[in-house]
Structure 1
């Protein structure tokens, strides 16, 4: 019987040694197949030895494979996020809107331009000219002076609109950063999943000539050969789907960076800080809170939910945007209330008459609010209603933020629990099942179908492990977007 030490997840430094000990290489396997094919007298034990050796190698390489995320360093991600901040069109548009809002502060607090007047009064029609003593040439200037306090309220509203626009730009920036990280993590998943598919398909493809030779020698069944071919074709189909998914994800990432869809990105991987927060390197380091179903993993790196919620309520840019919009609308409501107070039109005119004394005219005009009910009252009511709507919307946004933080926190803990179960139980047991099926097949106590089924089960678990890890990373990116800072270090 073949015997081997089953590798378990351990420190990152042991990964390369584990891979060297167990990772299969394509060349020796092909050479062995040719040697085997040339000798139809191969015994059942030699065939089984090859199959079990290949599958045990798969066990070892999958154990090392599960550790690659924990030791990966992803500096390209930071550069991609920085590039998106500088190049993303949505961010540029949001910044331009902020600049536009800032440019409106000055006009909001400025008085209306003065009016220059020039004319002739009492000009005779029958005998045109300026000799008539009633004819007067006039020049003057007029200025509208808003009632004190109106301009300051308009300026305050414009200033708060700038703050709201800045917060809105921050919302856009954080959303783009989250989308970049999410696309990058999806790219990492497709890379790791393709690794699993390629490795598993290589192992199964290497079994085909061996199984065919055994069938030709009368030691196997045609069903074994067909089953291998079906599994290999199925993996090819999954690999093709992953390749297309990778192209789509790459196009989405490049769109966020405002560059051609097929611009390549270096091999993506989950950053170390996220991998360490998601799951321990070794099952021995994992402890559950209790033996009850659904118990969480101990030693969570995530801050408590109430601390995260309090931090989000202080720093979330969407809430800051709402607060600035409320302040701006409050200033507009006060400005609308002051519309009951009249503006003043002041004019000063100088008149010149031939042969007579020059004259100066001063006029002060005040509007009469005859349309108070239809105009000022309606505008004041509209401003108050809009203010009430914004305040209610802010309360709703706070409640939704609390719910989102709780949802994201719970999702992260759920993913941590699932990953811990994979590392502590599911993957080791799947590898042990594969080793047992291989040993049973070698000694004649097991069948080929069980061997292939356990290999397929291990493949599915490895893929789901990486899918769950990717979900954890994407959920963490969303949580950090809401909070505005890194949640785990």
Structure 2
């Protein structure tokens, strides 16, 4: 019985030993672009920094419109009581004690304007955080698309390499039979060497892309990433209407959102500057103590006199210039972004048409040409150079097909960056 129990215990320990590494193993991300974006949103330090700055700016709104702290003053008068006693600091033994409680009051509307300026500055900080995320998401989407292209290019290169190995064998058989020159075998071997060199270059590019993506995800440079499985589906052409997208860009673009907040803050700042023509007040109440009793009360009002008109006029001209500058900057940014949108829309349409031509025309023609060249080489009707050219045409057609898909994805990422949201 003990032997049976021991066997069961050993078996259980073996199962645990096999299961634990799998369960503890970190899930490899990267098979989809969404998995990368989810990690980046919570881990990228630059985006976290911008979010925290936006939170900090939002906390400045309340104190911006708050009243300043009140002030308290204590005055001990005649501390020697006309020389009848030694100096003292006891309020009930001096000639009189004056207590003064004061509160500064800005001119009407100034507090609201300061609060509104701080609010728009907080909106600008939030817009900068959104713009940081849009830039980060675009870099991840483009990096993922490039990685997809490199993986498919690598797979295609390996397929062509296997094909060249088979063609070399065909050339060797024909050379052994005296039907082909030795040069055909050598050219096949040279082509294989070139393909292996390209594979090394592709591995290096993939390594660099993995490193850059891991940096965006705040992960170690050598952290594993899964191979990209598929690209995101492109939106239907009807969803890429220029007029609709231009309106969405003007309403949602983070940069324009930031520029609009900057313009609103400048306009409110200008109003606040003009309000500085009017004085601020200080009010106070003052009880006066004699011995152990308060026998007098005083009220006070204090105000500053805005006499420095030349200084205030200069500040007003400055605020007018800042408003005009903010408005011009927003208009300039709008024109630039609309131009980028037009370029990307044209490019994504070109990529669609290029992919369609490669899929429906170029690739079938190249495959037909290769089969014809292979049959002709086996019968001695065409030379080996013609066969190699036909093989290269197939590879070029497939590369063009994948490159067009990746180009469309990159342009889609740029359009989504301009819109500030996914399509």
Instruction: Please give the TM-score of this superposition, normalised by the length of structure 2.
Output: 0.85
Cα separation, partners in 2 of 1:380 and 1:475, compared to 1, 3 Å:
same
Q: Distance in 1 between matches of 2:293 and 2:243?
A: 86
Note the 1:38-437 alignment, pairs <5 A: 76-123=32-79, 128-129=86-87, 135-271=95-231, 273-274=233-234, 300-354=237-291, 358-374=295-311, 376-437=312-373
Q: Distance in 1 between matches of 2:294 and 2:382?
A: 127
Q: Deviations over 1:252-276 (max 9, x none)?
A: 11112111122222221333523x8
Q: Deviations over 1:162-208 (max 9, x none)?
A: 22222222222222222211111111111100001111011112333
Q: Distance in 2 between matches of 1:180 and 1:155?
A: 38
Q: Distance in 2 between matches of 1:472 and 1:355?
A: 87
Indicate conservation of the 8 Å contact 2:164/2:192, yes or no.
yes
Gaps spanning 5+ residues in structure 2: where? 1-29
Q: Distance in 2 between matches of 1:111 and 1:144?
A: 7
Other-structure match for 2:5: none
- Please say which of residues 458-467 and 351-360 is displaced more in the overlay: 351-360
Q: Distance in 2 between matches of 1:409 and 1:461?
A: 24
3-state SS of paired residue (2:309)? coil
3-state SS of paired residue (2:122)? helix
Q: Distance in 2 between matches of 1:97 and 1:463?
A: 44
CA RMSD of aligned residues (A): 2.5
Q: Distance in 2 between matches of 1:430 and 1:211?
A: 21
3-state SS of paired residue (2:51)? helix
Gaps spanning 5+ residues in structure 1: where? 1-73, 278-299
Q: CA deviation at 1:213?
A: 4.7
Q: Distance in 2 between matches of 1:217 and 1:201?
A: 24
Q: Distance in 1 between matches of 2:368 and 2:293?
A: 119
3-state SS of paired residue (1:340)? coil
Q: Distance in 2 between matches of 1:418 and 1:457?
A: 16
Aligned pair partner of 2:384 in 448, 451, 455: 448
Q: CA deviation at 1:115?
A: 0.7
Other-structure match for 1:28: none
Q: Deviations over 1:139-181 (max 9, x none)?
A: 2111111111000001111122222222222222222222211
Cα separation, partners in 2 of 1:212 and 1:342, compared to 1, 3 Å:
same
- Please say which of residues 222-231 and 352-361 is displaced more in the overlay: 352-361
Indicate conservation of the 8 Å contact 1:270/1:473, yes or no.
no
Indicate conservation of the 8 Å contact 2:274/2:316, yes or no.
yes
3-state SS of paired residue (2:310)? coil
3-state SS of paired residue (2:228)? coil
3-state SS of paired residue (2:32)? helix
Q: Distance in 2 between matches of 1:84 and 1:260?
A: 13
Q: Distance in 1 between matches of 2:292 and 2:49?
A: 66
3-state SS of paired residue (1:373)? helix
Other-structure match for 1:60: none
Q: Distance in 2 between matches of 1:413 and 1:336?
A: 51
3-state SS of paired residue (1:143)? strand
Q: Distance in 1 between matches of 2:414 and 2:120?
A: 27
Q: Distance in 1 between matches of 2:287 and 2:241?
A: 77
3-state SS of paired residue (1:159)? helix
Q: Distance in 2 between matches of 1:317 and 1:432?
A: 50
Indicate conservation of the 8 Å contact 2:269/2:319, yes or no.
yes
Indicate conservation of the 8 Å contact 2:287/2:294, yes or no.
no
Q: Distance in 2 between matches of 1:356 and 1:182?
A: 80
Other-structure match for 1:3: none
Q: Distance in 2 between matches of 1:78 and 1:354?
A: 78
